[in-house]
Amino acid sequence: MSLDAKKTLNLLSKYRSQLMGIAILWVAVSHANFACVRPLAIFLKLSGYGGVDIFFFLSGIGLYYSLEKNDNILSFYKRRAWRLAPAYLIFLVLWFIPLFLEQSDLYGVYYTGKNFLENLSMTGWMNGLDNQFNWYIQAVFWFYLLAPVLFKVICAIDEKEEPIWSYQILFFFILCLEIAFLHKETLMAVSRIPIFLMGMIFTDLVKKERWKKIHPILWYGMAILGCVILQHFQQTDQNLCWQYGIWWHPFILITPGLCLAICQLFEVLENTNVTAWISGGIGKILGVLGAYSFEIYLIHIAFLDRVPKKIVPRNNFQWLLMMVISIILGILFGVIIEKGKGLLHARIVDMQHHVTCDSTELETGSQS
pLDDT tens for 199-226 read 999 999 898 888 888 888 999 999 999 9
In the predicted structure, residue 168 carries a pLDDT above the cut 80: no
Q: What is the pLDDT of residue 17?
A: 95
Q: What percent of the chain has pLDDT over 90?
A: 56
Q: Which contiguous run of DSSP H or E holds residue 50?
A: helix 50-69
Distance CA 340, CA 344 (A): 6
Structural contact between residues 313 and 33, judged by C-beta atoms closer than 8 angstroms: yes
Is the CA virtual torsion 110, 111, 116, 119 positive or negative? positive
The listed range with the strongest mean pLDDT (35-39, 112-116, 237-241, 268-272) is: 112-116
Q: What does the pLDDT read at residue 138?
A: 93
Comparing 124-128, 310-314, 352-356, which segment has the lowest mean pLDDT? 352-356
- Judge whether 88 and 298 are in contact, CB under 8 Å: yes
Spatial CB neighbours of 50, under 8 Å, sequence gap ≥ 6: 26, 251, 254, 255, 258
98-108: b (≥16 Cβ within 10 Å) or e:
ebeeeeeeeee
292-315 pLDDT per residue, tens? 999 999 999 998 888 766 677 888
- The number of residues making up the chain comes to 368
The set of residues, in sequence order, having a beta carbon less than 8 Å from that of 317 and lying 6+ positions away, is none
Number of separate domains in the chain: 1
Task: State the pLDDT confidence band at 183, using cuts at 50, 70 and 90.
Answer: confident
Which residue type is seen at 101?
Answer: L
Q: How far is CA 82 from the centre of its chain?
A: 16
CA dist 255 and 147 (Å) reads: 19
Mean pLDDT computed over 313-332: 92
Reduce the DSSP state of residue 102 to 3 states and report it.
coil
What one-character-per-residue DSSP string does 273-324 give? HHHHHHHHHHHHHHHHHHHTHHHHHHHHHHHHHHS-GGGS--SHHHHHHHHH
Query: For the segment 237-289, what is each residue's pLDDT rounded down to a tens digit?
Result: 777 788 888 889 999 999 999 999 999 999 888 887 766 677 778 889 999 99
The whole-number pLDDT of residue 184 equals 86
Give the residue numbers spanning the domain of 45.
Answer: 3-367
Phi, psi for 48 (deg, rounded to 5): -60, -20
CA angle 26, 28, 34 (to 5 degrees): 95
Residue 331 has pLDDT above 80, yes or no: yes
pLDDT band at 149 (very low <50, low <70, confident <90, very high): very high
SS3 3: strand
Q: Where are the alpha helices (DSSP H) in 128-192?
A: 135-158, 163-177, 187-190
Residue 177: what residue type? L
- In this predicted structure, the answer to whether residue 160 has a pLDDT above a threshold of 80 is no
pLDDT for res 357: 66
CB 191 within 8 A of CB 178: yes
Per-residue pLDDT at 131 exceeds 90: no
- pLDDT tier at 119, thresholds 50, 70, 90: very high
Please give the backbone phi and psi of residue 4, each rounded to the nearest 5 degrees, phi first. -65, 130
Query: For residue 345, what pLDDT is reported?
Result: 81
- For the cut 80, the answer to whether the pLDDT of residue 368 exceeds it is no
Per the model's pLDDT, the better-predicted residue between 320 and 37 turns out to be 320
- Rounded alpha-carbon distances, angstroms, from residue 308 to 20, 162, 237, 302, 329: 29, 58, 31, 11, 18
